[in-house]
C-alpha cells in the first residue's frame, strides 16, 4: 500500500528548485502555475533567500505549485497514479496539493485558492503579534496540559514527541518560562499562529471564494488533516481544506489512518524530508522515500511500483460509492437497510471505534446496487460500504 504525502509550510529551503528547472517541461508548467497564482515561483525557488520564501504569501504557492508539477514528473500520465497510489495526504497547505492529485480540484483552482489562502493568512497574522513553538519530547498529557494552562493551541500534532504550540507572543513567552518537564522548546520562524482562532478572518475570505469552486469526489482516498478520516465527498474535502486554516492539523491521526490502511511505503513530494522523517519515527517498518531532486525520479517510480496496489475506488465513478472514513465497526441504519433508493444526504449508519462514532451519509443518493458490508462488520479507512447508481440508470 503506497501513500503519497505533500509537505506544509516550513519545508522550503533556498534554491531547492534549481535542479528541477533544468527540465524545460517542468519549467514551462511551473511558469503557467506562476501566472495563475500571480507569484514568480521559479524566481523564489532558485534565488530568493530564506527570509523571502518564509513569507506566507510566497511560501504557500511555492509549495503547492512545486508539488503539483513534480507529481506530473513522477506520473507523466496522471491515470497511472490511480493504479498505484492507495491514499494521499498533505500537511497543512499540502492538503491542497493532495486534493488536486486525487482529482477533487484542478491545478488552476488549487493555485487560486492557495494564493488567496496565503494572502488572507498573512493579513490575519498582522492583526495580533502571534507565533508558534515546537514542543519536542515530554509527556504528552503534561505537554497538552501546559498548553491549555497558558491558553495556547496545539496547532500541529505531528505524532509522538512533536506538538507545535501556537498563540500570542505573551502566551508563548509564559510557556518558555515554565516549560513542561523533559520537553525542549524550539521557537519557529513563522508569521503567526496558524491553525488557531487567530486565523478566523482568513477562513471567511477563502470560504466565500470556495463557493464558486466546482469539485469532484476524490479518485484516490484522501486522509484529512482534521481527524485522520478518509474523505470521499469532494464538497466535504473542500470544506475541510477551508476550515483547516483555523483548526489544528492532526497529522498524528493521519499517521494512524495510514497504519490502519496497511501502508508499506510513503513517498513525500518535494521539498521532501519533513514528513518522511516523522513517519520513520512513528511508523516503524514502513519504507519511506523523500523525493528531493529530479535525478531520483527513476528510483521514485520503482518505489511506487514496489508498494503500489492502486486505489480501492478508482475503477468506479466515485459518486457511485460510499466509503468508510475510518477504522471501526459498521452499524447499518435500519431505514437504509430496507431502502431500494437513497436520497442525497440519507443516513447509511455509522462507524464506531474506541476514539469516536462517525455517522455515514450518502452525499449523492441513488439506487442501491449492493451493500458491500453487513451490520456489525469491521471496516477499514476507505473501504467501500455500498454501491449506488443514479436513479433510473440501473437495470
Query: What is the arithmetic mean of pLDDT over 351-375?
Result: 92
Rounded CA gap, 216 and 82, in Å? 15
Supply 197's cell numbers: 482562532
Q: Inform me whether the pLDDT recorded for 378 exceeds 90.
A: yes
Predicted TM-score (pTM) of this structure: 0.90
Measured between alpha carbons, how far is 323 from 387 in angstroms, rounded to an integer? 9
For residue 312, being part of any structural domain is answered with no
The CATH code of the domain that includes 30 is: 3.40.366.10
Query: Which residue, 277, 307, 337, sits at the end of a domain?
Result: 307
Same domain, 14 and 111: yes
Is 268 a member of any domain? Answer: yes
Question: pLDDT at position 340, please?
Answer: 92
**pLDDT at residue number 319:** 63
Domain boundary among 307, 340, 375: 307
- Domain enclosing residue 367, as ranges: 318-389
Is the pLDDT score of 225 beyond 70? yes
pLDDT for 83:
83
The predicted structure's pLDDT at residue 395: 37
Residue 394 lies in a domain: no
pLDDT, residue 393, reads 45
Tell me what the mean pLDDT of segment 356-371 comes to: 91
Can you give the pLDDT at residue 355? 87
Residues 115 and 240 occupy one common structural domain: yes
Assess whether pLDDT exceeds 50 at residue 394: no
190 falls in which pLDDT band (50, 70, 90)?
confident
Q: List pLDDT tens digits, range 83-131.
A: 899 999 999 999 999 999 999 999 999 999 999 999 999 999 999 999 9
C-alpha 260/C-alpha 257 separation (Å) is 5
Structurally, the chain folds into a number of domains equal to: 3
- 140 in any annotated domain: yes
Reported as a single tens digit per residue, the pLDDT across 266-293 is 999 999 999 999 999 999 999 999 999 9
Say yes or no: 382 and 283 in one domain. Answer: no
- Averaged pLDDT for residues 330-356: 93
Give the distance between the most distant pair of CA atoms in the chain.
69
Question: Which pLDDT belongs to residue 279?
Answer: 96
pLDDT value for 80? 80
Q: Are 281 and 148 members of one domain? A: no
pLDDT band (50, 70, 90) for residue 204: very high
Mean pLDDT of 39-46: 98
Q: CATH no. for residue 181? A: 3.30.70.250
Question: Are 257 and 337 within one domain?
Answer: no
In this structure, the answer to whether residues 21 and 167 fall within a common structural domain is no
Residue 317's pLDDT is what?
A: 54
Cell of 43: 524566481
7 plus 69 within the same structural domain: yes
Assign 313 a pLDDT band (cuts: 50, 70, 90): low
Percent of the chain with pLDDT over 90: 87
Q: What is the pLDDT of residues 131-167, one digit of tens each?
A: 999 999 999 999 999 999 999 999 999 988 999 999 9
Catalytic residues: 92, 195
Which among 158, 126, 144, 96 is positioned nearest to 283, based on CA atoms?
A: 158
Confidence band, pLDDT 50/70/90 cuts, at residue 218: very high
On whether both 220 and 366 belong to a single domain, the answer is no
- Domain identity same for 27 and 137: no
Higher pLDDT, 81 or 285: 285
Q: Looking at the domain assignment, is residue 313 inside a domain?
A: no
DSSP readout, 154-187? EEEE-STTEEEEEEEHHHHHHHHHSPPTTEEEEE
Q: For the stretch 272-282, what's the b/e string if a residue is b when 16 or more beta carbons lie within 10 angstroms of its beta carbon? A: bbbbbebbeeb
Contact 201, 120 (CB under 8 A): yes
Examine the domain organization and report whether 182 and 247 are in the same domain. no
Average pLDDT, the chain: 93
Q: Has residue 208 been placed in a domain? A: yes
pLDDT of residue 261: 93
User: Are 244 and 109 within one domain?
Assistant: yes
Q: What is the mean pLDDT of residues 209-223?
A: 94
Residue 395 is assigned to a structural domain of this protein: no
Q: Same domain for 68 and 7?
A: yes
Amino acid at each position: 500500500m503506497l501513500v503519497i504525502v505533500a509537505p506544509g509550510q516550513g519545508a522550503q529551503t533556498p534554491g531547492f528548485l534549481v535542479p528541477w528547472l533544468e527540465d524545460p517541461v517542468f519549467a514551462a508548467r511551473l511558469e503557467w502555475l506562476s501566472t495563475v497564482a500571480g507569484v514568480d515561483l521559479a524566481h523564489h525557488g532558485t534565488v530568493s533567500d530564506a527570509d523571502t520564501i518564509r513569507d506566507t504569501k510566497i511560501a504557500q504557492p511555492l509549495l503547492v505549485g512545486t508539488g503539483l508539477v513534480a507529481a506530473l514528473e513522477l506520473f507523466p500520465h496522471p491515470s497511472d497514479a490511480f493504479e498505484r497510489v492507495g491514499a494521499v495526504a498533505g500537511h497543512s497547505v499540502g492538503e491542497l496539493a493532495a486534493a488536486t492529485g486525487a482529482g477533487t480540484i484542478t491545478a488552476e483552482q488549487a493555485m487560486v485558492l492557495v494564493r488567496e489562502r496565503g494572502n488572507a493568512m498573512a493579513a490575519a497574522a498582522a492583526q495580533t503579534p502571534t507565533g508558534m513553538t515546537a514542543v519536542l519530547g515530554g509527556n504528552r498529557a503534561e505537554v497538552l496540559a501546559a498548553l491549555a494552562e497558558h491558553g495556547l493551541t496545539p496547532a500541529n500534532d505531528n505524532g509522538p514527541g512533536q506538538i507545535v504550540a501556537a498563540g500570542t507572543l505573551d502566551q508563548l513567552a509564559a510557556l518558555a518560562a515554565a516549560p513542561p518537564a523533559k520537553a525542549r522548546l524550539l521557537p519557529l520562524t513563522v508569521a503567526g499562529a496558524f491553525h488557531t482562532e487567530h486565523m478566523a478572518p482568513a477562513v471567511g475570505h477563502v470560504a466565500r471564494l470556495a463557493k464558486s469552486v466546482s469539485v469532484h469526489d476524490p479518485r484516490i482516498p484522501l486522509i484529512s488533516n482534521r481527524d485522520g478520516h478518509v474523505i470521499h465527498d469532494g464538497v466535504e474535502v473542500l470544506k475541510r481544506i477551508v476550515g483547516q486554516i483555523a483548526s489544528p492539523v492532526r497529522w498524528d491521526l493521519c499517521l494512524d489512518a495510514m497504519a490502519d490502511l496497511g501502508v508499506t511505503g510513503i513517498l513525500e513530494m518535494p521539498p521532501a524530508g519533513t514528513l518522511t522523517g516523522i513517519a520513520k519515527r512513528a511508523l516503524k517498518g514502513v519504507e519511506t522515500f523523500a523525493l528531493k531532486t529530479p535525478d531520483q525520479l527513476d528510483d521514485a517510480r520503482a518505489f511506487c511500483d514496489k508498494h503500489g496496489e492502486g486505489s480501492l475506488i478508482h475503477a468506479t465513478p466515485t459518486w457511485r460509492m460510499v466509503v468508510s472514513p475510518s477504522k471501526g465497526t459498521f452499524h447499518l441504519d435500519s431505514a437504509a437497510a430496507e431502502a431500494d433508493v437513497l436520497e442525497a444526504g440519507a443516513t447509511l449508519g455509522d462507524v464506531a471505534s474506541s476514539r469516536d462514532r462517525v455517522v455515514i451519509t450518502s452525499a449523492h443518493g441513488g439506487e442501491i446496487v449492493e451493500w458491500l458490508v453487513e451490520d456489525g462488520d469491521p471496516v477499514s479507512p476507505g473501504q467501500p460500504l455500498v454501491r449506488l447508481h443514479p436513479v433510473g440508470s440501473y437495470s
